[in-house]
Amino acid sequence: MSRVLCVILNWRTAEMTARAAEAAITAMEGIEGAITIVDNDSQDGSFETLTARAESWPRVRVIASDRNGGFGAGNNVGIRAGLPDGTRPDYVFILNSDAFPEPDAIRVLLDYLESHPQTGFAGSAIRGEDDVPHVTAFRFPSIASEFEGAAKTGPVSKLLRHAIVAPPLPTETTQVDWVAGASVLMRQDMLDEIGLFDETFFLYFEEVDLFLRGRRAGWRAAYVVESRVVHIGSVSTGMKQWSRVPDYWFQSRRHYFEKNHGRLYTLTATAAHMAGLGLYGLRVLLQRKQPHTPPHFVRDLLRHSLGTRRPQES
**Alpha-carbon torsion, ordered 189, 190, 192, 194, to 10 deg:** 170
| Domain 3-133+169-241 homologous superfamily, CATH | Spore Coat Polysaccharide Biosynthesis Protein SpsA; Chain A (3.90.550.10)
Asked whether the predicted pLDDT for residue 312 surpasses 60, the reply is no
pTM for the model stands at 0.94
Domain-by-domain residue ranges, the chain?
3-133+169-241, 247-306
Mean pLDDT value of segment 51-56: 97
Question: 308: pLDDT confidence band, cut at 50, 70 and 90?
Answer: low
Question: 240: pLDDT confidence band, cut at 50, 70 and 90?
Answer: low
Mean pLDDT value of segment 299-311: 79
Percent of the chain residues topping a pLDDT of 90: 89
Question: 244: pLDDT confidence band, cut at 50, 70 and 90?
Answer: confident
Mean pLDDT value of segment 119-125: 98
pLDDT, tens only, 5-16: 999 999 999 999
Asked whether the predicted pLDDT for residue 22 surpasses 50, the reply is yes
Q: Which residues of 80-101 are buried (b: 16+ CB within 10 A; e: fewer)?
A: eebbeeeeebbbbbbbbbbbbb
Mean pLDDT value of segment 129-139: 96
Asked whether the predicted pLDDT for residue 106 surpasses 60, the reply is yes
The per-residue pLDDT for 292 is: 84
pLDDT, tens only, 151-199: 999 999 999 999 999 999 999 999 999 999 999 999 999 999 999 999 9
Mean confidence (pLDDT) of the chain? 94
